[in-house]
Structure 1
Amino acid sequence: MSSYKEKKVISIGTVNELTGLSVRQIRYYEEKGLIYPERTTRGTRRYSFSDVELLLQIADKREEGVQTYEIKKDMQSSKEKKDKMMERMLRGQFNAHFKMR
C-alpha cells in the first residue's frame, strides 16, 4: 500500500496555493524534468504531497541561484545513491537469509 504522501490527487491550483509558485513555474519545472505529475484522462495534472514538498525544495534552491540543470543533476545523483544503498541492503538480506558471504 502506498503512502498518502505519494497519491497524486492534488490539482495544480491547489499546488499553486500551497507553494506560492505560479502555475507557469510549476509547469516549467515539469518541462525541465524536475517533477512528474500524473495526468487524468482529460489531461488534468495531479500532484502528490511529496511533489509539493519537492517543489518547495526546488523553489528554495532557485532562490539561492541554483540553475534547474544543477538541481536535476543533484536529484539524479541522490536517486542513484539511494538505489545503490537499497541494492546493498537487499543483497545483505538475501545473503543473511541464505547464509552466503
Structure 2
Amino acid sequence: MAEDPSYKTRKVITIGVVSELTGLSERQIRYYEERKLVFPERSAKGNRKYSFADVELLIDIANKREEGVQTFEIRQDMLRAEKRKEKKKKRELLRGEINARFGIQKER
C-alpha cells in the first residue's frame, strides 16, 4: 500500500501530544519554534498544530542538542539542506526542459 504523502505533513497534532511523543517539554518545543527550527500552524483559537514530520524533526533536534549542537548550527544545517534541495529541483526542471526541447526520452 502506497503511503499518502499528506498524512505526514498534515498539521493536526497539539503541542501536548507532541510533548508526550517526543519527551520534550512544551516550553522546549516553543523555544525551538522561536529559534525557527519548527513551524507549527495555528488553529482558529490560536493553538499550535504540528505534523508527524514536525514530531520527527523535533526528535532529531533533541538528539542533536544532546550531542551538544547549538540551535544556531542546527538552523544553518537546515538552511543548507533546503538550498541543496532547491538546487536539485532546479536542475531537474532544467533537465526536463532540455529533454522536452530536444525530444530526448528517458530510457526505461
Query: TM-score scaled to structure 1, two decimals?
Result: 0.95
Letter in 1 for 2:67: E
User: C-alpha displacement at 1:95, in angstroms?
Assistant: 1.0
Structure 1 counterpart of 2:95: 92
Q: Is residue 2:19 matched to residue 1:24?
A: no
Looking at structure 2, the residues matched to 97 and 52 of structure 1 have their Cα atoms a distance apart, in angstroms, of 40
1:1-101 equivalences under 5 Å are: 3-99=6-102
User: What is the CA deviation profile of residues 42-94 of structure 1, one whole-angstrom value per residue up to 9, with x for unaligned ones?
Assistant: 10000000000000000000000000000000000000001000100111011
Looking at structure 2, the residues matched to 2 and 40 of structure 1 have their Cα atoms a distance apart, in angstroms, of 22
Structure whose CA Rg is larger = 2
Quote the sequence identity (%): 55
Looking at structure 1, the residues matched to 101 and 84 of structure 2 have their Cα atoms a distance apart, in angstroms, of 26
Structure 1: where are the runs of 5+ without partners? Answer: none
User: C-alpha displacement at 1:2, in angstroms?
Assistant: 5.2
